[in-house]
Amino acid sequence: GESVGLHLPTLSVQEGDNSIINCAYSNSASDYFIWYKQESGKGPQFIIDIRSNMDKRQGQRVTVLLNKTVKHLSLQIAATQPGDSAVYFCAESRSGNTPLVFGKGTRLSVIA
């Protein structure tokens, strides 16, 4: 499959454990944030998003936390499964006509 990132930080977790992937964003004016998952050989896939007027949002098995004070975003995956193994990217955007800016990504490796 595609080699998405040879030099990415890697998080290894045991199957069934919870995973926490962190992201520091750079622009204090950013007001919209998205997490994407990229599996080998595929394009990024939307997981969950959050706007700056919220500090927490939950989806199916995933939770995104936003701390605007320290410009930090995290993705929590509950009961991590082998299918969760992928590279995870956070992306930020400002209001208006501005494109998404992606972080470098974190590789999640699930140990069965």
Partner 1 sequence: KAGVTQTPRYLIKTRGQQVTLSCSPISGHRSVSWYQQTPGQGLQFLFEYFSETQRNKGNFPGRFSGRQFSNSRSEMNVSTLELGDSALYLCASSLVPSGSRTDTQYFGPGTRLTVL
Residues near partner 1 (CB under 8 A) are 2-7, 32, 36, 41-46, 49, 51, 89, 91, 93, 95-105
HEC string for 20-46: EEEEECCCCCCCEEEEEEECCCCCCEE
Q: How far is the CB of 99 from partner 1 (least distance, A)?
A: 4
51 close to 43: Cβ distance less than 8 angstroms: no
Nearer to partner 1, 69 or 97 (CB): 97
CA–CA gap between residue 75 and residue 1 (Å, rounded): 25
Q: How far is the CB of 15 from partner 1 (least distance, A)?
A: 27
Nearer to partner 1, 2 or 17 (CB): 2
Nearer to partner 1, 80 or 103 (CB): 103
Nearer to partner 1, 77 or 103 (CB): 103
To which residue do tokens 């944030």 refer? 33
Q: How far is the CB of 64 from partner 1 (least distance, A)?
A: 14
Using DSSP's 3-state secondary structure scheme, residue 70 falls into coil
Q: How far is the CB of 12 from partner 1 (least distance, A)?
A: 20
55 close to 66: Cβ distance less than 8 angstroms: yes
